[in-house]
Amino acid sequence: MRSEEDIEMLSRVISFDEVVKTSIETFRNTFGTEPDLAARAPGRVNLIGEHVDYNDGFVLPMALQLGTVIVGKRNGTESTCDVVTCAEGIQEGSKRAQFDSSAIAKGSPKWLNYVKGVMFHFRKPVPGFNAVIHTNVPVGSGLSSSAALEVATLTFLERLTGHRVESDAEGAKVCQRAEHTFANVPCGIMDQLIAIGGRADHALLIDCRILATEPIPFQAPHLAVLICNSNVKHELSSSEYPVRRKQCQQALELMGLDSYRDATLDHLKALQNANEVLVRRARHVITEIQRTTEAAEALKANDFVKMGRLMKESHRSLSEDFEVSCHEVDMLVEATLEAPGVLGSRMTGGGFGGCTVTLLERAALADVVMHVDTLYSRKTGGKYRARFYHAQAGNGSHPLDLSPYLN
């Protein structure tokens, strides 16, 4: 039996306290003063319901304790913004940039476009400010580091200006527009909604057609949720994501429907003369929406065996029908399902790399980590080494009190 300290060793994730402390220290060293405002937003893991948020479906994510922090203060100028990132995984451009909040335009560095996009769609005057961004959400892993940054920015702007968006749904729309227009990623709205509305010890069932949410209790001390990062990077804006979205819409139109919520497997008959690819794309969406509603009911009933089965079916559909997995992630799922104590495992996030999410017996957690770590490394010929995160459902975005860190 391995200890849970082994998991921490393999994950190599800096603590949230270290994220905040490093942010403050960087701000102090860069700007010669202390920050007086801070905001935090979490990453997320989607338990089930993949690639259906932009198809009017249901999704079942939970907010993570991993998150993104922005610390800052007004700098006394009318509109000059000076922003620094400490995030790992930033491969291009400078980690510090200045821009004018009264004339926002996307450009380089790419990471700043997420901040600029939220400011642009916030639609309120933003005074000049200095800020430092830091995170322990792995960038490009499928845990929604982008939405965490967007929502943290929105929460920071609300504190900076005193203006609040009218609802969680409206805030999520602001952040989604930012990603569409400034990052050129045609994402759904799940990531932004869970980053705003997450609740500790709960998953969140989101109806993506009407943006209604229902907290689903997820308290099972004998179980654990394990995230495994394949360390295969994905970049949605240059991947097949926009292609999948277009294919889903084409299939919907051929079926003569306005929404996938009205679709059943019988409607696939209307696609019999269409490209087989469209049949498979639509089949995934229809069955994944059904699996997600069943999963929410399974959690309510504490039927975790059924939840695990639905997760396995979801991965098979994502890999074979929607074709958004990859060889390494499939190997990671296979290796995980071989381990004793595992109830279910699937890819999570946009795909083409990134992470898997696994439901398992808590007593088996450390042994499963060691089994998967060894097997995955061997199967990839040592090219990739997985990282592991013991996920616990956390709260959504909120202002952060800096006083404990400054005293």
The pair of three-digit structure tokens given for residue 60, joined into one six-digit string: 């079942």
Is the preceding peptide bond at 61 cis, omega within 30 degrees of 0? no
Q: Which of 191, 321, 330, 373 is catalytic?
A: 191
15 CB neighbour count, 10 Å cutoff: 11
| Secondary structure element (H or E) that encloses residue 207, with its range | strand 202-207
Q: Is 321 a catalytic residue?
A: no
**Interacting residues of 127 by C-beta distance below 8 A, sequence separation 6+:** 74, 77, 78, 79, 101, 160, 161
Q: How far apart are CA 30 and CA 353, in angstroms?
A: 35
* Orientation angle between helical segments 365-379 and 327-337, nearest 10 degrees: 140
Q: How far apart are CA 351 and CA 326, in angstroms?
A: 8
What angle (nearest 5°) sits at the alpha carbon of residue 114, between those of residues 108 and 115?
95
Over the range 359-379, which residues count as b (16 or more CB within 10 Å of their CB) and which as e? bbbbebbbbbbbbbbebbeeb
Give me the active site residues, please. 191
